Amino acid sequence: MSGSLLPHGYPMIGALSASEAELAIVKPARNEGVDFTPEAIAAIVSATPGYPYFLQE
């Protein structure tokens, strides 16, 4: 992810790396007692190209 700032000081948010996207999926789910299979994680990362908005959908 880039450390660039947009006008008004907002950070630029781009696509996450595959490992960052996996962590963004797995960690909150595990906190709620939910586990994903490796195949499900790969499918989510592939379908969302690492964009945080789509990972949250």
Which pLDDT score, from 0 to 100, does residue 11 have? 79
Give percent of the chain with pLDDT exceeding 70: 95
Which pLDDT score, from 0 to 100, does residue 1 have? 44
Contact indicator for 47, 36 with CB cutoff of 8 Å: no
Model's pTM, two decimal places? 0.72
Find the radius of gyration of the CA atoms of the chain: 13
Which pLDDT score, from 0 to 100, does residue 7 have? 78
Contact indicator for 50, 15 with CB cutoff of 8 Å: yes
Better-predicted residue by pLDDT, 6 or 42:
42
- Please spell the DSSP secondary structure of the chain, one letter per residue: ----B-GGGPBP--PPPHHHHHHHHHHHHHHTT----HHHHHHHHHHTTT-HHHHH-
Query: Could you give phi then psi for residue 49, rounded to 5 degrees?
Result: 35, 35
Domain extents in the chain = 15-56
Average pLDDT over residues 14-28: 93
Which pLDDT score, from 0 to 100, does residue 13 have? 78
